[in-house]
Amino acid sequence: MNLPQHNIKIQHEKFGVLVNETFMNATQFKIFLSMIQGCIELRNDLTFFNGSDFLVHIPHKNLVESIITTSVDVSLTLAEHLIQKSKLETA
């Protein structure tokens, strides 16, 4: 059984890769994308902490200067899914 793997990458010209996160849950992926879009439109810093082991803070200036790409890969098996749980989903 293959499960879709959703990936988001935020890259900045000066600082390199700021975020490279993979989600197994499509709903959590949509929520994270909505949060990023809201920060861009409302001119807020992107700050997220999952409560245990993942913290990201990107000032608005650097966020709008970044390239944001997303992708969906369906080649992940159920066993790989259990091994590669996202940091954001474990909270």
> What's the pLDDT tens digit per position in 60-80?
999 999 999 999 887 656 666
Q: Domain residues for 13?
A: 2-90
pLDDT value, residue 54: 85
Split into its structural domains, the chain has a count of: 1
CA distance 43 to 53: 26
Segments of the chain with pLDDT less than 50: none
Place of tokens 């959590």: 28
> Could you tell me the sign of the dihedral formed by the alpha carbons of 32, 36, 38, 44, in that order?
positive
| Contacting residues for 32 by C-beta, under 8 A, at least 6 apart | 8, 21, 23, 48, 88
User: DSSP H helical segments within the chain, as ranges?
Assistant: 26-42, 60-64, 78-83
